[in-house]
């Protein structure tokens, strides 16, 4: 079972938060506020925060630029994971994934099912890795952001979390690019 490795030091990571919405602004972005507060509370660094409309090219361009920024270890998006015509966040970002994280979606839906029942199937929450950066694509509700952070990301982004976590493998995410050197 998971536990805390108190002997290990806390290692803060750089996180960028993108809200995908045609209607939100920084003044009323409750999901972005929820994530920013939890990031700060955990001791991580909020490197960037932005809001873009439900537009594939703008979503992809913003996230891709962040994955190329050495200060950003993790990108978390909120919004655009449903099935309406404007919900395009997974479609914009999954082509960037070098590796998919199917377990994230499975665990997210498990946590969500416990709270909202079968309504969880209306989300296409997903995650993956691009340019040695973790990308987590969350639904736009503050509740979904809380569930993802509290139930998954808080532990996996904490180096002290045992038996394993994302922070301890970050130095090796781009080792495939170093082969042959």
Residue 7 pLDDT:
83
Q: 44-83 as b/e, with b when 16 or more CB fall inside 10 Å?
A: beebbbbbbebbeeebbebbbebbeeeebbbbbbbbbbbe
- In sequence order, the 6+-apart residues with CB closer than 8 A to the CB of 25 are 51
Q: Is residue 148 part of a domain?
A: yes
Number of compact structural domains in the chain: 1
Q: Is residue 46 part of a domain?
A: yes
Task: List the beta bridge partners of residue 78.
Answer: 19, 138
Mean pLDDT by 10 residues, the chain (181 residues): 75 98 94 98 98 98 98 98 96 98 97 96 97 97 97 97 95 72 47
Assigned token pair, 157:
């982004």
Q: Is residue 21 part of a domain?
A: yes
Q: Which CATH number belongs to the domain containing residue 21 in this structure?
A: 3.40.980.10
Rounded to the nearest 5 percent, the helix, strand and coil shares of the chain are 45, 20, 35
Residue 24 pLDDT:
93
Supply the range of the domain harboring residue 90. Answer: 9-171
Q: Is residue 158 part of a domain?
A: yes
Q: Is residue 177 part of a domain?
A: no
Q: Is residue 111 part of a domain?
A: yes
What is the largest distance, in Å, between two alpha-carbon atoms of the chain? 50
Q: How far is the C-alpha of 49 from the C-alpha of 61, rounded, in Å?
A: 14
Q: Is residue 180 part of a domain?
A: no
Residue 178 pLDDT:
60
Q: Is residue 98 part of a domain?
A: yes
Residue 175 pLDDT:
77
């Amino acid at each position: 079972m998971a536990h805390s490795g108190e002997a290990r030091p806390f290692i803060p990571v750089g996180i960028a938060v993108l809200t995908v919405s045609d209607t939100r602004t920084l003044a009323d972005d409750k999901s972005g506020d929820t994530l920013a507060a939890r990031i700060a509370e955990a001791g991580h660094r909020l490197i960037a925060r932005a809001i873009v409309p439900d537009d594939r090219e703008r979503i992809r361009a913003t996230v891709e630029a962040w994955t190329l920024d050495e200060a950003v270890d993790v990108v978390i998006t909120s919004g655009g994971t449903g099935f309406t015509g404007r919900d395009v966040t997974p479609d914009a970002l999954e082509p960037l994934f070098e590796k998919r994280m199917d377990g994230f979606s499975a665990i997210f839906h498990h946590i969500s099912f416990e709270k909202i029942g079968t309504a969880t199937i209306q989300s296409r929450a997903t995650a993956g890795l691009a340019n040695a950066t973790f990308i987590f694509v969350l639904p736009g509700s503050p509740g979904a952001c809380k569930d993802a952070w509290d139930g998954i990301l808080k532990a996996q982004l904490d180096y002290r979390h045992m038996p394993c976590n994302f922070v301890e493998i970050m130095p090796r995410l781009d080792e495939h690019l170093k082969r042959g050197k």
